[in-house]
Structure formats: C-alpha cells, structure tokens
Amino acid sequence: MTDVASGITLVSLQGARFLFDPGALCLEFLTSGGPGIGARFEVLHRPADLADWLGRSRLRLDPARVDVDPAELATARRLRDALWRLVCARTGTRPPATTPTDFDATPGDLDTLNEAAAAAPLAPRLDADGTRHWVLPASGQQALASIARDAIDLFSGPYADRIRECGAHNCYLVFVDTSRPGQRRWCSMERCGNRHKVRSLRARRDA
C-alpha cells in the first residue's frame, strides 16, 4: 500500500479539523466524496479539485504539476464510487444512502477498478538523500492508476480482512487496521476516539 506520507486533514460538518490516517491511499481517496452520504462531502467538482486533493493526500503531489482534464475527473469520481461499493461489500457496512442500491457492488465496479489500474502509475524517484518522491509533472490518469493499484494490493493482501468502519455510531470513515493487535476502533483518536472517552467519563460521573 502506498504510504509516502500518512494522514490527511479533514474538516467535519461542524468545522472541526482533525487528522485521519486510513492506512491506505485508496481508502484515503474515499474522503473526497462518494455516493449516498458521501455526496455532502464532495470535493471533486472541477479538474483542479482533483489536483488539489492529490496535494493534500499522502502522495503529497504538487497540484501545479499535476495535469487533470475533464475526462480524468469523471474517471476519478467513477473510480471512487466503485471503491466505496467494493469496500462496503467487504466490510458489510451500509452508510446512509439516497437509494437502497447506492452501496451495492456490481461487476462493473471491478471493471472500473481494473481499467484504472491498467494505466501507467506514478513513477517513483529516489533522491540523493535517500528519500522517495514522485516524478513530476504527472497526469490525473497516472495518479488514479496508483490509487487503483493500491486498492488491488489492499483487497488481495494480508490486510484485506482488516478493512473497517469507524466504531462511532455517526461516523462512516473507513480504515485498514494495520496495528499488531488488530483492535483499532476509531477513525481518529483525536476525533471519535476522544468523543467516546468524554461520553464514557460523563456516564461514569452520572453513575
């Protein structure tokens, strides 16, 4: 799984900022929007929005050096929505949906994933100081190929059964639990984990 830099800063509907590390690039991509409840978080409206998101993602690409055209933006949204459905098929979770079939995976979703993965991905580059970066400029298609390949690695790898939804009752962020004990419950200890602690403390005080 691609892990050049971990974590993406998200903003809740209440305006609170928090760091979310889903453990995989493909799951990070789900935070850009999606079907059902994901529509209220949609950020991919224009080609430049995808370049901006790639800059905030764990890829840390320079948005000014990522070329995205309208067709690639459409592919990005199609790939992301397919990933949502494929993830839900594996976790058995059902985020709130506009229609009952919003999160039903279909054979077409696999086709979308495999077609995106078949393109040339981002090319890595090793610098003299031993750090890895990506060769730029790059295209939106290359970035999407890297995301799709990351998903295939995750779905077919040793952590395929550790893809989980946050344990908070009103949070639908998805992550892969790479911890040794495999007991991660929250999207972020800074957000849902802390809120759970506060509620538990209040419950003990009330008792």
Structure-block tokens of residue 100: 């009952």
Cβ atoms < 10 Å from Cβ of 201? 10
> Does residue 68 carry a pLDDT above 60?
yes
Structure-block tokens of residue 95: 């985020």
- The string of pLDDT tens digits covering residues 10-46 is 987 777 888 999 999 999 999 999 999 999 999 999 9
Look over the chain and give the mean of its residue pLDDT values, rounded to a whole number.
90
Contact 79, 149 (CB under 8 A): no
Mean pLDDT of 160-182: 92
- The string of pLDDT tens digits covering residues 181-195 is 888 999 988 779 566
Contact 50, 68 (CB under 8 A): yes
> Does residue 200 carry a pLDDT above 60?
no
Q: Which helix (H) or strand (E) holds 30?
A: none
Q: Which helix (H) or strand (E) holds 125?
A: strand 124-126
Structure-block tokens of residue 36: 């059902």
Tell me how far apart the alpha carbons of residues 123 and 132 are, in angstroms, rounded to a whole number: 10
- pLDDT band, very low/low/confident/very high, at 135 (cuts 50, 70, 90): very high
Mean pLDDT of 65-73: 98
- The string of pLDDT tens digits covering residues 86-123 is 999 999 988 999 898 999 999 999 999 999 999 999 99
Structure-block tokens of residue 111: 């086709």
Whether the model pTM is above 0.85: yes
Nearest one of 148, 84, 140 to 118, comparing CA atoms: 148
Q: What is the pLDDT of residue 120?
A: 98
Return phi, psi of residue 30, to 5°: -65, -20
